[in-house]
C-alpha cells in the first residue's frame, strides 16, 4: 500500500510557479467543481428547484451522488497503491469513468423524478461529458481537469449569461496548471476543456433550452 498522492508529487519539479499550479490543480478536480457549481445552482437557480425540493434536500442528493461517490473507487485504489489520485495511467481510467457514469445517471433520474430541472440537466451534462472523455481516453490522455471545468463552466454561462464570464479565466488557469505540472501536454489540456464545452452545449440545448 502507498500513501495517497497526486502524480505530480513524484516528479522532480519545485518552485513558486509549481506551487501555484498545484493550488489551482488541487482546487479544480471534477468532484470539487461539481460541488462549487452545484451549490451555485442550488442557491441561485433562476428557475428554482421544482415543486418538491428545497436547497438542503437538493444538496443531500447532489453531494453524495455527484461529489463523494464518484471518487470513492479512486481513493480506495490509490490507498491500495494501484493508482495515484490523478489516475495518470490512461489505461486504468475506464473503470473509474464507468462508475462515475452510474452515479451521474442515478442522480439524473432522482432529480428528474423530483422535477428539479436545473440539477437534472447538470447531472445529465456530467454524464455526457464523462462519456465523451471516456471515449476520447481510448485514443489520447485528454485532461479530466480540463473537461471538468469546461463542461460546468459552459453550463454556468448558459444558465446565468455573461455574468459567469470568470469561468473563462478558470479554463485558462487549469490548462496552464496541468501543463506546468507535466500532467498533460498543452494540446491534451486544451482538448479536455474543449471537449467539455462542445458536449455540454448540445446537452443543455436539448434538455434545458428546448425541453
pTM: 0.94
Q: 198 near 136, Cβ under 8 Å?
A: no
Q: What is the pLDDT of residues 114-124, one digit of tens each?
A: 999 999 999 99
211: confidence class by pLDDT, cuts 50, 70, 90: low
136: confidence class by pLDDT, cuts 50, 70, 90: very high
Those residues with Cβ within 8 angstroms of residue 132's Cβ, 6 or more apart along the chain or in another chain: 147, 195, 199
SS3 72: helix
Q: 144 near 192, Cβ under 8 Å?
A: yes
Domain count, the chain: 1
Give percent above pLDDT 90 in the chain. Answer: 82
The pLDDT value given to residue 2:
52
Those residues with Cβ within 8 angstroms of residue 90's Cβ, 6 or more apart along the chain or in another chain: 137, 140, 141
The answer as to whether 11 is a domain residue is no
Flag whether pLDDT at 3 surpasses 80. Answer: no
Range(s) of the domain holding residue 82:
23-205
The answer as to whether 4 is a domain residue is no
Rounded to a whole number of angstroms, the CA Rg of the chain reads 17
CA distance 190 to 192: 5
Flag whether pLDDT at 30 surpasses 70. Answer: yes
The answer as to whether 74 is a domain residue is yes
Q: What is the pLDDT of residues 61-109, one digit of tens each?
A: 999 999 999 999 999 998 988 888 888 888 889 999 999 999 999 999 9
On the 0-12 / 13-18 / 19+ scale of CB atoms within 10 A, 14 is: exposed
CA distance 111 to 121: 9
Q: 50 near 115, Cβ under 8 Å?
A: yes
Flag whether pLDDT at 130 surpasses 80. Answer: yes
Count of positions (residues) in the chain = 211
SS3 32: helix
The answer as to whether 183 is a domain residue is yes
Q: What is the pLDDT of residues 152-206, one digit of tens each?
A: 999 999 999 999 999 999 999 999 999 999 999 999 999 999 999 999 999 999 9
The answer as to whether 159 is a domain residue is yes
The answer as to whether 63 is a domain residue is yes
140: confidence class by pLDDT, cuts 50, 70, 90: confident
The answer as to whether 9 is a domain residue is no
The answer as to whether 125 is a domain residue is yes
Q: Which residue has the higher pLDDT, 14 or 148?
A: 148
Distances from the Cα of 63 to the Cαs of 55, 89, 137, 176, in angstroms?
12, 27, 26, 28
The pLDDT value given to residue 4:
78
Taking the alpha carbons at both ends of the chain, their separation in whole angstroms is 49
Amino acid at each position: 500500500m502507498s500513501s495517497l498522492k497526486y502524480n505530480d508529487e513524484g516528479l522532480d519539479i519545485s518552485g513558486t510557479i509549481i506551487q501555484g499550479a498545484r493550488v489551482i490543480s488541487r482546487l479544480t478536480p471534477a468532484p470539487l467543481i461539481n460541488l462549487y457549481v452545484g451549490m451555485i445552482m442550488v442557491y441561485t437557480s433562476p428557475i428554482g428547484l421544482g415543486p418538491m425540493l428545497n436547497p438542503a434536500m437538493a444538496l443531500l442528493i447532489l453531494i453524495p451522488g455527484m461529489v463523494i461517490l464518484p471518487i470513492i473507487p479512486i481513493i480506495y485504489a490509490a490507498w491500495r497503491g494501484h493508482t495515484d489520485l490523478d489516475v495518470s495511467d490512461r489505461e486504468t481510467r475506464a473503470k473509474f469513468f464507468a462508475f462515475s457514469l452510474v452515479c451521474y445517471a442515478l442522480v439524473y433520474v432522482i432529480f428528474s423524478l423530483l422535477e428539479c430541472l436545473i440539477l437534472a440537466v447538470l447531472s445529465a451534462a456530467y454524464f455526457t461529458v464523462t462519456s465523451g472523455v471516456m471515449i476520447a481516453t481510448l485514443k489520447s490522455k485528454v485532461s479530466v481537469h480540463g473537461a471538468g471545468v469546461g463542461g460546468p463552466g459552459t453550463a454556468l454561462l448558459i444558465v446565468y449569461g455573461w455574468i459567469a464570464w470568470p469561468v473563462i479565466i478558470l479554463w485558462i488557469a487549469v490548462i496552464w496548471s496541468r501543463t506546468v505540472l507535466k500532467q498533460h501536454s498543452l494540446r491534451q489540456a486544451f482538448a479536455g476543456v474543449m471537449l467539455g464545452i462542445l458536449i455540454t452545449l448540445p446537452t443543455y440545448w436539448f434538455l434545458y433550452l428546448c425541453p
